[in-house]
């Protein structure tokens, strides 16, 4: 009897510890429980035509009025947040006609960056991860590993890239690349190389009863808490690991079979196609840092959805006029949710969030695209050429 009581006490203690641990995980955001809309039907019941919304907007507003409203942003503004990637260049400052860049070590840079580029002033630029193609590089690019501490005359220039929020220099590089305009070379996330292999079949209709697309599999506590507080107020589909309410990951592939591109399907190939069925995509950065605007926002824009964005305080320096809903501009998530619901029920007001693309009112987005990873090879090769490559003096 005494032994049984001892076992029961131990069991009770273990149970209390489990409850305590679950409570801690829940409030930290690591443990997800179904959201308020977890019981919502997985299959959207009502859909509206995006093209129909465009026609209504054309008849009642139109591009001429939209251009007048944003006339100050039709041309790229002069924001210092984005480098002028295609600014004037004096060909006479280039010391080399050909530059070869060898990418060293493990990197998340897309393989389809590897190419031979024809750049300005007749400069050719070879960017590759293959030492077979470049046995005598003019520059070595490092990302996840540090460059050599010393560089002798005749050695390749050392390039270091860091697109993470901290953007820490290696302290030994000759050229530093980051997402910020104040560094040697800026590389934004706005280009197409991130998603060249994805399915670009975009839906012409939008779900009316399930408004928001959300997908995240890195459950950062702060981001999770914010998403949970907003999504509890809006009908949504959550497809990732965090706050999943569709019965598992990759459910989008069964909901939207036309989005399957590869067999067996890849988790990433359907994102744009699936997003395109929703009026809104929730985009929350891991870190709210100046100029740190990532693919989380640009994926949504490219898919034809309206991003609900939380992140960089200067995000408007990177996106087209009237193209996103800046969540930080609302006093509360309740106010934001009310705005989203009202917008979803107003086809003309909703269509105006797409007018920038249809009317060609890009604003500073032109500079954002021009400074993307897509153009990084030529811009880096220009910088290497100006320094003279291996003939540059050791720094």
- The predicted model scores a pTM of 0.87
Q: Work out the number of other CB atoms within 10 angstroms of the CB of residue 349.
A: 14
Lowest mean pLDDT among 12-26, 67-81, 259-273, 360-374: 12-26
- Collapse the DSSP code of 206 into the 3-class scheme (helix H, G, I; strand E, B; otherwise coil) and give the result: strand
Note the pLDDT of residue 337. 98
What mean pLDDT is reported for the chain? 88
Phi first, then psi, for residue 222 (nearest 5°) are: -65, -45
Question: What is the rounded average pLDDT of the residues 19-44?
Answer: 49
φ, ψ at 7 (rounded to 5°) = -65, -40
Choose the weakest-confidence range: 125-139, 177-191, 238-252, 349-363: 238-252
pLDDT band at 129 (very low <50, low <70, confident <90, very high): very high
Contact 172, 146 (CB under 8 A): yes
Model confidence at 192, pLDDT cuts 50, 70, 90, reads confident
Confidence (pLDDT) at 87: 81
Torsion angles phi and psi, residue 322, rounded to 5: 50, 50
- Residue 126 and residue 156 in contact, taking contact as beta carbons nearer than 8 Å: no
Which pLDDT belongs to residue 25?
44
Average pLDDT of 318-340?
97
Q: What is the pLDDT of residue 74?
A: 66
CA distance 28 to 382: 47
Digit-coded pLDDT (tens) for 86-128:
888 889 999 999 999 999 998 888 888 999 999 999 999 999 9
Q: Closest Cα partner for 303 from 324, 281, 327?
A: 281
Confidence of residue 394 (pLDDT cuts 50, 70, 90): confident
Helix H segments across the chain? 2-28, 50-60, 63-69, 221-231, 252-255, 271-275, 295-302, 333-344, 347-352, 355-359, 365-370, 376-387
- What is the predicted pLDDT for the residue at 21? 46
Report pLDDT for 195.
72
Q: By percentage, how much of the chain surpasses pLDDT 70?
A: 88
225-281 pLDDT, tens digit each: 999 999 999 999 999 999 999 988 778 888 998 888 777 777 667 888 999 999 999
Give me the pLDDT at residue 34, please.
44
pLDDT digits (tens, 9 = 90+) for 46-55: 999 999 999 9
Residue 194: per-residue pLDDT: 72
pLDDT given at position 4? 41
Q: Does the pLDDT at position 10 exceed 90?
A: no
CB 161 within 8 A of CB 388: no
pLDDT confidence band for 30 (50 / 70 / 90): very low
The span from the first CA to the last CA of the chain, in angstroms, equals 80
Q: How far lies 369's CA from each of 84, 88, 320, in Å? A: 11, 17, 11
Look at residue 23 in the predicted model and tell me its pLDDT: 44
């Amino acid at each position: 009897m005494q032994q049984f009581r001892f076992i029961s006490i131990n069991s009770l203690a273990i149970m209390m510890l489990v409850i305590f641990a679950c409570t801690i995980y829940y409030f930290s955001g690591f443990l997800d429980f179904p959201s308020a809309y977890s019981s919502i039907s997985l299959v959207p019941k009502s859909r509206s035509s995006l093209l129909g919304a465009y026609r209504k907007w054309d008849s009642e507003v139109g591009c001429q009025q939209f251009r007048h409203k944003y006339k100050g942003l039709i041309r790229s503004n002069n924001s210092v947040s984005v480098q002028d990637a295609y600014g004037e260049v004096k060909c006479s400052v280039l010391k080399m006609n050909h530059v070869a860049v060898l990418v060293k070590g493990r990197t998340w840079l897309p393989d389809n960056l590897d190419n031979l580029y024809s750049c300005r002033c007749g400069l050719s630029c070879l960017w590759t991860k293959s030492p077979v193609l470049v046995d005598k590089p003019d520059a070595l690019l490092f990302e996840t590993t540090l460059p050599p501490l010393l560089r002798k005359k005749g050695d390749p220039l050392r390039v270091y890239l860091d697109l993470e929020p901290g953007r820490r220099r290696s302290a030994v590089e000759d050229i530093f690349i980051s997402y910020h305009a104040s560094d040697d070379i800026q590389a934004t996330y706005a280009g197409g190389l991130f998603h060249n292999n994805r399915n670009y079949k975009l839906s012409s209709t939008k779900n009316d009863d399930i408004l928001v697309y959300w997908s995240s599999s890195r459950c950062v506590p702060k981001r999770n808490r914010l998403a949970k507080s907003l999504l509890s107020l809006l009908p949504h589909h959550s497809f990732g690991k965090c706050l999943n309410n569709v019965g598992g990951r990759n459910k989008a592939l069964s909901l939207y079979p036309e989005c399957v591109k590869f067999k067996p399907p890849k988790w990433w190939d359907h994102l744009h196609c699936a997003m395109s069925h929703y009026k809104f995509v929730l985009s929350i950065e891991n870190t709210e840092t100046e100029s740190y605007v990532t693919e989380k926002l640009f994926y949504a824009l490219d898919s034809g959805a309206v991003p609900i964005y939380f992140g960089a305080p200067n995000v408007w320096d990177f996106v087209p006029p009237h193209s996103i809903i800046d969540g930080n501009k609302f006093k509360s998530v309740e106010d934001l949710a009310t705005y989203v619901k009202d917008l979803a029920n107003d086809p003309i007001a909703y269509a105006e969030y797409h007018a920038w693309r249809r009317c060609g009112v890009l604003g500073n987005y032109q500079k954002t695209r021009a400074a993307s990873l897509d153009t990084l090879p030529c811009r880096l090769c220009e910088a290497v050429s100006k320094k003279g490559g291996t003939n540059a003096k050791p720094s």
